[in-house]
Amino acid sequence: MLPRHHDPILAIATAPGRGAVGMVRVSGKDLKPLALALFGRMLPPREAVYLPFCDAAGIPIDRGLALYFAAPHSFTGEDVLELQAHGGPVVLQLLLARCMEAASQRDPQAGQLVLPHLRLAAAGEFSERAFLNDKIDLTQAEAIADLIDASTEAAARSAAQSLSGAFSKEVHALRDALTRLRMLVEATLDFPEEEIDFLQKADASGQLERIQAALQAVFARASQGALLREGIQVVIAGQPNAGKSSLLNALAGAELAIVTPIAGTTRDRVQETIQIEGVPIHVIDTAGLRASVDTVELIGIERAWEAITAADVVLFLHDLTRAAEPSYQAGDVEIRSALQQKLPSGVPVIDIWNKADAVSTALQPEGITLSAKTGHGLDALRQALLQAAGWQAPAGGSFIARERHIQALRSVDAHCREAAAHLASQAQALDLLAEELRLAQGALSDITGEFSSDDLLGVIFSQFCIGK
């Protein structure tokens, strides 16, 4: 534990701005002297006390609730003091300053500072204290930030699942199963003279297969959770006046982009996040792709290609009313060729044929036919986007996950595959089998933070809000 983790910390724990209630939170090893200096009395643990919050001269700053949580029965595992006042920024700043002032005073009885080294908390430091004091593991700590940042109801529910320990429980079960199997392998290595084949008797091969099956189930749920957290980036591309802005507006259900009959109206990217079955879809409308001598339009087209090459899914929008025009067909061919050259492999391109309401003939081009004006075909597009994203609602529900969790689970899978290969050769490679199982264990422990470097913790908790 770094020296800074021993300092008592202080922060405003509610969002910036005005509100009905605001909170100042303090966490440290012994906060009784601070409570006595602030209120002239001790506070009963875990009991809300309504009293005045006064400055050093005894003049009330506000009246509110004070709560004292004695260690280890608190969020951080340390003593925690919470002051709940009216949520005005000035009031909360005055309370913050008063706490710092009281901490720097000398206790007349003890003859020392009331609370030495009290300082403002860094981002996420309260949650970091909770992790370091074994109140939560790393996946639960990350779930706190994900719950706060959730952009959809499904993402919030998945984050709550992780915060309750659902993800951690699955990881611990996998780790325990790997530990048992590794013990068998180590026993075989330690006692080679024994005639009993420990691995065959204990069905080591069957155990490993069951671990791999359980790992795949966890990976599927975690992948869906990662999708709920991150969403996918969808870019609408096509020639000018194909209805890209109209499609964005139709998907968003709001007039976000300017729509006119004039080709080239959209000069820059317009982005909106929508949700489909709880999955965040970040939709970007771009400038029409065509040859141009207009400097501003060329900049817009360049930015359009930047967005396209970074997309998870591209919606290639076509205009049904111009589908038979040779010049329009040539433009689409040129765009498709450019997409094939510039897009990374594996990025899906969905052909969308717009303006079905304006065409009387029964055209059935390949792709999805819709009308951004009437809404016809939008449901089919939404389902196509979910399919392209790989969304499948897990039967047991998902838990929120991050890219580092996915990478760690992939690493576990790779080590298990290597272990299975070594197990097949049995005695000739048992030492390598034991090592692969150890590496798989380590990758699982990285997820929950049992073996995490201070650098990794710094990156994770720095993304939290102040006061949490």
Q: What is the DSSP string of 10-68?
A: EEE-S-SS-EEEEEEEEEES--HHHHHHHHSS---BT--EEEEEE-TTS-EEEEEEEEE
pLDDT band (50, 70, 90) for residue 2: low
- Give me the architecture of the 159-227+402-449 domain, per CATH: Up-down Bundle (1.20)
User: Mean per-residue pLDDT for 302-326?
Assistant: 91
CATH 3.30.1360.120 fits 3-135, yes or no: yes
Residue 201 CB neighbour total at 10 angstroms: 9
**pLDDT score for 428:** 63
- Answer whether 3-135 and 159-227+402-449 agree in fold: no
**pLDDT score for 326:** 92
Residue 397 has pLDDT above 80, yes or no: no
User: Mean per-residue pLDDT for 354-362?
Assistant: 79
Q: How far apart are alpha carbons 137 and 456 in whole angstroms? A: 14
> Binding site for GTP: residue ranges?
241-246, 260-266, 285-288, 354-357
**pLDDT score for 258:** 44
For the structural domain made of 232-389, what CATH number should be given?
3.40.50.300
Residue 300 has pLDDT above 70, yes or no: yes
> Binding site for (6S)-5-formyl-5,6,7,8-tetrahydrofolate: residue ranges?
25, 82, 135, 468
User: Mean per-residue pLDDT for 387-414?
Assistant: 85
**What are the Cα distances from residue 69, in Å, to 74, 95, 103, 120, 300?**
6, 19, 18, 19, 56
> Binding site: residue ranges?
25, 82, 135, 241-246, 260-266, 285-288, 354-357, 468
Q: How far apart are alpha carbons 156 and 229 in whole angstroms? A: 9
Residue 265 has pLDDT above 50, yes or no: no
> Binding site for K(+): residue ranges?
241, 260, 262, 265
| Domain residue extents for the chain | 3-135, 159-227+402-449, 232-389
**pLDDT score for 297:** 79
Residue 349 has pLDDT above 70, yes or no: yes
Contact criterion met (CB below 8 Å) for 77 and 27 = no
**pLDDT score for 3:** 57
User: Given its phi and psi angles, is residue 342 left (phi above 0), alpha (psi -120 to 50 degrees) or beta?
Assistant: alpha
Quote the distance between the C-alpha of residue 382 and its chain's center.
Answer: 23
User: Mean per-residue pLDDT for 350-376?
Assistant: 84
Q: How far apart are alpha carbons 273 and 7 in whole angstroms? A: 41
